[in-house]
Amino acid sequence: MQLILRTVVIFLALWLVLRVAGKRQVAQMDAFDLVTIIVLGGVVTQGILQEDYSLVSALVAIGLVTLLAVGLSVLTWRFPGADKIIEGEPTILLQDGRPDETAMRAERVSMANLLAAAREHGIRDLEEIDLAVLEADGAVSFFTRRTGEDDQPPEHRAKAL
């Protein structure tokens, strides 16, 4: 029973740490972050298993962590409101070519990060962007302004013969 309680507490602590770390932090992992996660895995294992390094205890802990992860995904599927709490919500970082500095500060996204993400999408100038959204998974989605014929609804566009 103690093993189950420790596993649940550590699982919830890890979930909380990932939520507090922020969306961009998870999406922008580098080599140091990978090493940190591997070390964290060892620390978590010690916290869950304490001095019981038996195969059965390890399998119980792995099974329980898997069940908790599946349980969270079922919660988000069954209860749409839980999705916002468990996985987070998208955040508008830029609208009509103007950055929302309050949102960027809250999400800890610098202008340099936003510009780099825009360049990765082939966008050269912030004025080209109609909307930039930081998704719950840390990716940035860009919606660019349409120009010329694309501004018209499909039924008004010239048809090729």
Q: Are residues 17 and 59 both part of a single domain?
A: yes
Alpha-carbon gap, residue 98 to 132, rounded angstroms: 10
For residue 63, being part of any structural domain is answered with yes
User: How many domains does the structure of the chain reveal?
Assistant: 2
Query: Please, which residues have CB within 8 angstroms of residue 128's CB and are 6 or more apart in sequence?
Result: 97, 144, 145
**pLDDT digit of tens for each residue in the chain (161 aa)?**
788 888 888 888 877 777 766 655 555 555 656 666 666 677 677 777 677 666 677 777 777 877 888 888 888 889 988 888 877 889 999 998 899 999 999 988 999 989 999 999 999 888 889 999 998 878 899 999 765 545 555 554 444 44
Q: Are residues 45 and 74 both part of a single domain?
A: yes
Q: Which of 94, 90, 89 is nearest to 113 (CA)?
A: 94
Q: Are residues 114 and 79 both part of a single domain?
A: no
Last-in-domain residue among 63, 86, 109: 86
Last-in-domain residue among 86, 103, 133: 86
73 backbone dihedrals φ, ψ, rounded to 5°: -70, -35
Q: Are residues 63 and 6 both part of a single domain?
A: yes
Q: Are residues 82 and 95 both part of a single domain?
A: no
CB 24 within 8 A of CB 134: yes
Using CB atoms within 10 Å of the CB of residue 57, give its burial: 0 to 12 exposed, 13 to 18 middle, 19+ buried: middle
**Domain ranges, residue 135:** 91-147
For residue 154, being part of any structural domain is answered with no
For residue 161, being part of any structural domain is answered with no
Evaluate if pTM is beyond 0.75: no
Q: Are residues 40 and 53 both part of a single domain?
A: yes
For residue 51, being part of any structural domain is answered with yes
